[in-house]
Chain A
Amino acid sequence: ETGVTQTPRHLVMGMTNKKSLKCEQHLGHNAMYWYKQSAKKPLELMFVYSLEERVENNSVPSRFSPECPNSSHLFLHLHTLQPEDSALYLCASSQGTGTGEPGELFFGEGSRLTVL
């Protein structure tokens, strides 16, 4: 497999459920990201991991919990979400050097989340 792979592509969950989104990159990149995309709104940066360390957390509610066990994998754990959290969640990776120049982002196809 090549590129950035996200699973599942679609997820429906109740507000009391716990689920996880998974992202895997096969590009040898050292930075990974979670973005949220809602209708009529720009992509919102949620989390950035560089060399497996979280370097950015954009005031995201604690019901979203990221995990980066290694440079190829990124998870977003979901717990007691709200209906307004329904959105397309996009994972991306980049060849970041840790000096602030990420270069281009490579995105996965996204996980479409619906919270009932």
Chain B
Amino acid sequence: SQKIEQNSEALNIQEGKTATLTCNYTNYSPAYLQWYRQDPGRGPVFLLLIRENEKEKRKERLKVTFDTTLKQSLFHITASQPADSATYLCALEHGGYQKVTFGTGTKLQVIP
């Protein structure tokens, strides 16, 4: 069956450290993968998109890697800040026609 799994439901890290979140998938062949941030009671907000032929993408303190052999994406936040505390979702496009499926999310807490 198809699955998108994010490494842990919750992750606590110290301010200033690098947070690393994992997204693993099975039985998908996505053309690309996306990461979103969701704050409580709000809709998700797009952060980064990485295509299957790209290994790495960066945006300010964010970095995403995509390994289609391992079927895994890693999402890094460097120099983390308490304001980075939120739930982070990975999402895959698959099956054409704009079908985007989301993982369960990882709730990140950055401790001052």
B45 CB contacts on chain A under 8 angstroms: 107
Q: Give chain A's interface residues, CB within 8 Å of chain B.
A: 4, 31, 33, 35, 41-43, 45, 48, 50, 55-56, 90, 92, 94, 96, 98-110, 112
A106 CB contacts on chain B under 8 angstroms: 46
| Complex alpha-carbon distance, A101 and B41, angstroms | 28
Interface 1/0s, chain B 37-67, versus A by CB < 8 A? Answer: 0000111111001000000000000000000
**Contact A104 B49, beta carbon cutoff 8 Å:** yes
Question: Which of A4, A50, A90, A107 is within 8 Å of B98, CB to CB?
Answer: A50
The contact size tier of chain B is 20 to 34
Closest beta carbon of chain A to B91's beta carbon, Å:
8
Q: Give chain B's interface residues, CB within 8 Å of chain A.
A: 4, 31-32, 34, 36, 41-46, 49, 89, 91, 93, 95-105
11 residue pairs A–B, Cβ–Cβ below 8 Å: A33-B98, A42-B105, A45-B100, A45-B101, A92-B43, A100-B31, A101-B98, A102-B100, A104-B34, A104-B46, A109-B41
